Structure 1
Amino acid sequence: MSINRNENGGFPNDGTTRHIGEDEAAPLLGNATVATRAKGAPFTACVFNLMNAIMGSGILGLAFAMANTGIVGFCILLLLVCSLAGFSIHLLLKLCDQTGINSYEDLGEKALRKPGKILVGLTILTQNIGAMSSYLFILKSELPATISSFLSPGSMVSAWYEDGRLLLILVTVCVVLPLALLPRIGFLSYTSSLSFFFMLYFMVVVIVKKFTIPCPLLQNRTLGDDLFQVSNCSASECTPKAFVISSKSAYAIPTMAFSFLCHTAILPIYCELDRPTKKRMQRVANTGLCLSFLIYLLSALFGYLTFYSRVDSELLLNYDTWAPQDVLVMTVRLTIQLTVMFTVPLIHFPARKALTTVLFDGRPFSWLVHVSVTVGILLVVVLMAIFIPDIRNVFGIVGSTTSTCLLFVFPGMFYLKISNRPLCSSEAVGAMILLVFGLIVGTLSFCVIIITWAQSS
């Protein structure tokens, strides 16, 4: 095994190729660097952080995706997207191991020079600001109703906690900002572990409610002092379908791509992993993806088998309609919002890193820059969440472009540009498939969203 190291013991960042053994067990950092490096985050903490980066509000839309693709069609697509996400992570880690580069932005510079670094940085920044804004928009919309349901159900008197904008500012200042100011992503492992158990609880509640909400769907209605039930669903609709093809099916893959997007956090997590090697980090990625796949699949399956074709684009809205004031539904709404709240600082980390790389590349760490960039990004995100009345279409367009680029297009393109493997090798062919698949999916998704947006206008 021959490895080129720089004078500090680390791997050179000038693109010099280093050759390692087939087990790919060489560390990301040189031995001299590792010797003076603080102890990194343990394996379990990195898995929790990765799963928190993977799972977010996207889990609420997967039952809708299954309703518009069918059970078998959904399982095939979900497995395909999960496998491609795992393969693209493998390519990124392979490039890091080959070049000694440990930053997504620097890989862009290595492949496409300075414009590539700026392109990747702006793509990460746009994607993560869009995701954080959508998450805070959910908090602004849902948190007041959730708190009211626990404190004063049915009260006609408005209280201060029913103002979503005020709650959003309080949550951002008191929870999101302190977590976002942490200098290392490994410190977020504690909140990430809570988010994992919240998602697990969501999955359990979805499974349990399948056996308590009958089909045809019966909704409680009141008329005067009388309570009665009405059905908005016929018995014929209570049959699961293996395959479904409709205009809404085009949203399935973008929803899944958004649900598995963790590539902006994968390299920062890799850098802070204890004993960081490509093989060890690949195990972190595979564990996180497999657990996320299982939770996604079970949540989508039982959510679909509860509401069938009546599944809403946001699954919790179905439970609000058909099981209002249900204690399990109320608690799961709260846990989902806590998960979203804890996910925002994790998404903020690569967004801050991308902006710092674009504006202050090469400068030493400065707390003034760190705090200023953190507050600036959060200010933009909060203002967007407060003043944009409906961000679904706007960030649908952003997601269909930036998500597919970060998940499919960039890893495939960078591997083909940087790797010294022949084009006929299996990994190069896989990178080409990843690139073409990402371009096709991104273009089709963008066109469908634009056409749907125009028709609805």
Structure 2
Amino acid sequence: MSINGNADVNTESAVTEDSETAPLLNNGSAPPRARGASFASSVFNLMNAIMGSGILGLAYAMANTGIIAFCILLIIVASLAAYSIHLLLKLCDQTGINSYEDIGEKALQKPGKVIAGVAIIIQNIGAMSSYLFILKSELPAAIRTFLSPDSAGNAWYEDGRLLLILVTLCVVLPLAMLPKIGFLGYTSSLAFLFVLYFVVVIVVKKWSIPCPLSRNVTTLSGAFQISNSTESECTPKLFVVSSKSAYAIPTMAFSFLCHTAVLPIYCELDRPSKGKMQNVTNVSICLSVLLYLVSSVFGYLTFYAHVESELLLGYDKYLPHDIVVMTVRLAILLSVLLTVPLIHFPARKATLLLLFGRRPFSWPIHIVATLTIVGVVLLMAIFVPDIRNVFGVVGSTTSSCLLFIFPGIFYLKISNSSRRSFDSIGAAFLVVFGVIMGIFSLSVIAITWSLNT
């Protein structure tokens, strides 16, 4: 489907053009040929791209930065993410270009297109592999919680690899095969409901786990005794500075990385315009910030300094057989599962653009590309023993580039705005901030690895 405002509506070849490579409306001056994705569907898709499994780690970040410091940092990172999207949309509006990769080519010629495309492919394949790795690790445990303790210990549903293959073939692959990202609005709305359910449960369960925390621990002699936290640990901290505080900003930045999905969503938006897509972005980021804040605050106020790096693990310790906690764990896993096809879309789009350019849509090429990417992701999730370490360095570098550095550089190279204009200064700030954050993230990962070896 073409939505180019300068194209002839009656041109047969334009009607068959693939939505993944169709140019944008210029200022919304011409009507689209067919109704695109609704505003609500686009918001759900972008929120699904934003949130993923990052919501599980932000309470831990709050415990290591303090409530006020966390809120300030979260709002700053969210604002910078929204601003970098504003720069990308402004470039799309000025040039009529509809892809991150082509904006890179416009700014830096062929190397810019290749660098942006490769970064998108690496980032999204890494993210998809990490999500499937989480499913492989957590899905068998989630299923076991619903079964009686007398169930057989070697049942097929306790094999994480087998379960991963089944859910990939039955859920991920059919959704990833869809040619338009707008169709995923239905699954994204379902994923949003799962996340909302998670947040509600975190709020409600705050009063089910009293502080000081107590739990059974096993002594060296094999006996059980009660271990209590102190009253002082039940006081919320407003500001915290420790070695673990270093993980806060990278965690937040990765929690708002949705830029590779923004332009595909923009392309399929009904009557697309920069202002409308900016509203989609603002609503999505604001709702995400709200859900992040509520879940982080109540998760932190439940466990205080004892918050686990993955929030739900704390509930497993103190409420191991709570049926609501069991269901919310399964809901989060389903949310992660439904996020994978959405992340797959820009990875496939970047692959097709780099390999085939803007050739007309072809189902054989589309199917082969989809099967190849999903196959690579599945094999990595199955056979790599620790996917997070493998993609730690790659993720921190590509995320910094896609979130901050590339939008800033592309804007400075393409835009005709004065170098003293607000957006030019803001773009330069994004580049500097992204470089600092990337170096900082790599340093933290290197130090962590050196301490663990």
What is the TM-score normalised by the length of structure 2?
0.92
Q: Aligned residue for 1:263?
A: 259
Q: Report how far residue 361 of structure 1 moved.
A: 1.1
Q: Report how far residue 302 of structure 1 moved.
A: 0.7
Distance (Å, rounded) in 2 between the aligned partners of 1:278 and 1:201: 32
Deviations 1:359-395 (A, max 9, x none): 1113221111111111111111111111111122222
User: Is residue 2:377 matched to residue 1:417?
Assistant: no
Give 4+ residue runs of structure 1 displaced > 6 Å after superposition. none
Q: Report how far residue 238 of structure 1 moved.
A: 1.1
Deviations 1:7-65 (A, max 9, x none): 658xxxxxxxxxxxxxxxx9447755x35x21101101100111011111110000011
Distance (Å, rounded) in 2 between the aligned partners of 1:448 and 1:222: 33
Q: Report how far residue 80 of structure 1 moved.
A: 0.2
- Calculate percent identity across the aligned residue pairs: 69
Change in 2 beyond 3 A, CA 1:167/1:28: farther
Q: Report how far residue 5 of structure 1 moved.
A: 7.4
Deviations 1:429-455 (A, max 9, x none): 111111110110111111110121122
Give the stretch that moved more between structures: 443-452 or 282-291: 443-452
Give the stretch that moved more between structures: 287-296 or 357-366: 357-366
Q: Aligned residue for 1:450?
A: 446
Distance (Å, rounded) in 2 between the aligned partners of 1:30 and 1:59: 35
Q: Aligned residue for 1:167?
A: 163
- The partner residue of 1:109 within 105, 111, 119 is 105
- Whether the 8 Å contact between 1:88 and 1:408 is mirrored in structure 2 is yes
User: Is residue 2:74 matched to residue 1:78?
Assistant: yes
Q: Aligned residue for 1:384?
A: 380
Q: Aligned residue for 1:189?
A: 185
The one-letter amino acid of 1:309's match is: A
Q: Aligned residue for 1:253?
A: 249
- Whether the 8 Å contact between 1:220 and 1:322 is mirrored in structure 2 is no
- Whether the 8 Å contact between 1:124 and 1:354 is mirrored in structure 2 is yes
- Whether the 8 Å contact between 2:217 and 2:227 is mirrored in structure 1 is no
Q: Aligned residue for 1:235?
A: 231
Change in 2 beyond 3 A, CA 1:199/1:60: same
- Whether the 8 Å contact between 1:134 and 1:385 is mirrored in structure 2 is yes
Deviations 1:124-181 (A, max 9, x none): 0000011001100111011111112113345353211000000000000000000000
Matched residue of 2:108: which SS?
A: helix
Unaligned runs of 5+ in 2: 10-23
- Whether the 8 Å contact between 1:62 and 1:296 is mirrored in structure 2 is yes
Matched residue of 2:127: which SS?
A: helix
Q: Report how far residue 317 of structure 1 moved.
A: 1.0
- Whether the 8 Å contact between 1:210 and 1:302 is mirrored in structure 2 is yes
Distance (Å, rounded) in 2 between the aligned partners of 1:262 and 1:394: 21
Root-mean-square deviation over aligned CA pairs: 2.0
- The partner residue of 2:314 within 312, 315, 318 is 318
Q: Report how far residue 204 of structure 1 moved.
A: 0.7
Distance (Å, rounded) in 2 between the aligned partners of 1:324 and 1:200: 22
Q: Aligned residue for 1:301?
A: 297
- The partner residue of 1:327 within 307, 323, 336 is 323
Distance (Å, rounded) in 1 between the aligned partners of 2:381 and 2:318: 28
Change in 2 beyond 3 A, CA 1:454/1:356: same
Matched residue of 2:226: which SS?
A: strand
Distance (Å, rounded) in 2 between the aligned partners of 1:237 and 1:352: 48
Q: Aligned residue for 1:434?
A: 430
Change in 2 beyond 3 A, CA 1:219/1:28: farther
Change in 2 beyond 3 A, CA 1:218/1:6: same
- Whether the 8 Å contact between 1:125 and 1:351 is mirrored in structure 2 is yes
Task: Give the total of aligned pairs.
Answer: 434
Matched residue of 1:150: which SS?
A: coil
Distance (Å, rounded) in 1 between the aligned partners of 2:44 and 2:216: 39
Matched residue of 2:146: which SS?
A: helix
- Whether the 8 Å contact between 1:27 and 1:278 is mirrored in structure 2 is no
5 Å matches for 1:7-406? 8=8, 27-28=25-26, 31=29, 34-35=31-32, 37-153=33-149, 155-219=151-215, 230-406=226-402
Distance (Å, rounded) in 2 between the aligned partners of 1:403 and 1:154: 45
- Whether the 8 Å contact between 2:28 and 2:272 is mirrored in structure 1 is no
Distance (Å, rounded) in 2 between the aligned partners of 1:182 and 1:126: 21
Q: Report how far residue 407 of structure 1 moved.
A: 0.7
Distance (Å, rounded) in 1 between the aligned partners of 2:294 and 2:234: 18
- Whether the 8 Å contact between 1:218 and 1:229 is mirrored in structure 2 is no
Unaligned runs of 5+ in 1: 10-25
Q: Report how far residue 397 of structure 1 moved.
A: 1.5
- Whether the 8 Å contact between 1:219 and 1:323 is mirrored in structure 2 is no
- Whether the 8 Å contact between 2:25 and 2:96 is mirrored in structure 1 is no
- Whether the 8 Å contact between 1:137 and 1:385 is mirrored in structure 2 is yes
Deviations 1:80-106 (A, max 9, x none): 000001101110000000110010000
Q: Report how far residue 296 of structure 1 moved.
A: 0.2
Matched residue of 1:151: which SS?
A: coil
Distance (Å, rounded) in 1 between the aligned partners of 2:180 and 2:225: 53
